[in-house]
Amino acid sequence: MRELSLGNDHKANPLYTHMTELQRQIKTKFSEFPLEFDVPMSQKTYFKLGGPAEVYVELAQKEQIASLINWCQENHYQYHFLGGGSNIIVADQGIAGIVIKIINQSIELEKKSNYALIRVGAGMKTALCVRKTIDEGYGGLEYFLGVPGTIGGAIYNNAHYLEDLIGAHVNRVEVLTEKGDFTWLDKETCEFAYDSSRFQRTKEIIYQVEFLLEQGDKNESMAMVKKATEYRAQTQPLGLPSSGCIFQNVPNSQTLKELFPQFKERTHVPGGFLIDQAGLKGAHEGDIEVSEKHAAFFVNKGNGTADQVQKLITRVKQKVAEKFNVSLQEEVFWLK
Ligand SMILES: Cc1cc2nc3c(=O)[nH]c(=O)nc-3n(C[C@H](O)[C@H](O)[C@H](O)COP(=O)(O)OP(=O)(O)OC[C@H]3O[C@@H](n4cnc5c(N)ncnc54)[C@H](O)[C@@H]3O)c2cc1C
């Protein structure tokens, strides 16, 4: 039997007829890029839920990232950045546009008298970065070893462990600006605060980060890591898919101090504590459940959906507002 020839006209190829306009255009323009189409984001996120990304691509090189962003802007295509996928929720209907995962994992150490400047690619796993700095004899990042995801994501959210914020250890950050230039921003410009940074309001890509770390003692560093790891294992539901804390801690107030004097010296009251006090541990929408172990975490018990997460967020916010007159703020980011 003779095979049907599709000729050179790619529009006649059945593979192409199912493509969106963006997929067709990007495949032609960036044929050398490792492009993937209709990638289920449940495979790329810690929460194990979310629909497909129209286009998904992993890039490390500056020129490639810059030319893709430039093209998206010229052609009015949406783009989104992904790190390790441990702090995001993807909508069930998926993501229109391009999901760009930054995978620059370079690491460079500039030793000074009693400190070092350590430049790390945004795509490096945070745990690996911390381990390398400890191995080189520098301290400061120990408590972040247990934070899942990448350095880029940690800087975007100014990751925290109790009162320690990762931004406190940063010297400067290299970004790709919306205008298409790579530039270094010093720490003050990054607007680091609890669970926030300037990167949440700008569309800049974090390309690499320079930490300033003091010389330390490896044994002491490892003891800090052990303490934090044990604390996480006791307090976080690490065995089930989640996106970490769904809600931020709540700024302390006179009312909260009177209600909960055990936190009166703290600037924030743990969001999970208030959710627990509102009787919501174990509350669920389908397979998405308020963790019994840490009430600020939602866990996915199997086939949870983003829609269920949204419904549970609304319920929890309402109940906590009714009970304590507190407005919970989300710590996770939605990609949609
Ligand atoms: C079990 C568990 C425990 C956790 N414990 C902690 C904890 O102790 N402390 C804490 O702070 N967080 C914690 N988290 C939340 C999360 O791991 C951190 O916020 C982490 O730093 C997110 O990094 P990521 O690479 O996974 O980011 P992603 O989830 O991939 O992305 C988060 C946001 O950052 C943006 N982003 C990522 N990379 C870049 C980049 N290069 N340029 C620009 N924007 C970028 C994304 O667009 C997105 O908006 C925990 C999560 C889980 C699942």
pLDDT digits (tens, 9 = 90+) for 186-221: 999 999 999 999 999 998 999 999 999 999 999 999
> Which one of 87, 102, 117 terminates a domain?
102
Report the C-alpha dihedral over residues 127, 129, 130, 132, rounded to 10 degrees: 120
Ligand 1 mean position, distance from CA 83 (Å): 7
| 142 in the same domain as 195 | yes
| 320 in the same domain as 256 | yes
Task: Please tell me what DSSP assigns to residue 222.
Answer: H
In this prediction, residue 10 carries a pLDDT of 45
Instruction: Judge if the beta carbon of residue 88 lies within 6 A of ligand 1.
Output: yes
| 161 in the same domain as 146 | yes
Distance CA 130, CA 204 (A): 24
Q: Check: CB of residue 110 under 8 Å from CB of residue 88.
A: no
In a domain, 176, yes or no: yes
In this prediction, residue 2 carries a pLDDT of 33
| 130 in the same domain as 82 | no
Full domain range(s) for residue 148: 107-221
Task: Please tell me what DSSP assigns to residue 200.
Answer: G
Ligand 1 mean position, distance from CA 152 (Å): 8
In this prediction, residue 16 carries a pLDDT of 56
Distance CA 335, CA 118 (A): 30
Instruction: Judge if the beta carbon of residue 65 lies within 6 A of ligand 1.
Output: no
Q: Check: CB of residue 49 under 8 Å from CB of residue 306.
A: yes
In a domain, 204, yes or no: yes
Q: Which residues of 205-229 are buried (b: 16+ CB within 10 A; e: fewer)?
A: bbbbbbbbbeebeeeebeebbeebe
| pTM, full prediction | 0.93
Residue nearest to atom 33 of ligand 1 (CA): 153
In a domain, 7, yes or no: no
The list of the chain residues with pLDDT below 70 reads 1-17
| Burial class for 325, CB neighbours closer than 10 Å (0-12, 13-18, 19+) | exposed
**For residue 57, which amino acid is it?**
V
Ligand 1 mean position, distance from CA 257 (Å): 30
In a domain, 138, yes or no: yes
Domain containing residue 95: CATH number? 3.30.43.10
CA angle (123 as vertex; 169, 93 as ends), nearest 5 = 115
- Tokens encoding 13: 């190829």
In this prediction, residue 17 carries a pLDDT of 62
| 294 in the same domain as 202 | no
Instruction: Judge if the beta carbon of residue 85 lies within 6 A of ligand 1.
Output: yes
Termini Cα distance of the chain = 47
Q: Write down the residue that tokens 């044990």 correspond to.
A: 230
| 250 in the same domain as 197 | no
Instruction: Judge if the beta carbon of residue 241 lies within 6 A of ligand 1.
Output: no
In a domain, 8, yes or no: no
| 114 in the same domain as 180 | yes
Please tell me whether residue 143 adopts helix, strand or coil conformation: helix
In this prediction, residue 295 carries a pLDDT of 97
Mutate to test the pocket of ligand 1, among 62, 78, 82 (most ligand atoms within 8 A of CB): 82
| 111 in the same domain as 135 | yes
Output the CA torsion sign for 275, 280, 281, 285.
Answer: negative
In a domain, 150, yes or no: yes
> Which one of 55, 82, 102 terminates a domain?
102
Instruction: Judge if the beta carbon of residue 160 lies within 6 A of ligand 1.
Output: yes
CA angle (171 as vertex; 168, 174 as ends), nearest 5 = 120
pLDDT tens figures, 2-32? 333 333 444 444 445 689 999 999 999 999 9
Query: What ligand 1 atom has the least distance to the C-alpha of 154?
Result: 21
In this prediction, residue 317 carries a pLDDT of 98
| 310 in the same domain as 245 | yes
In this prediction, residue 3 carries a pLDDT of 35
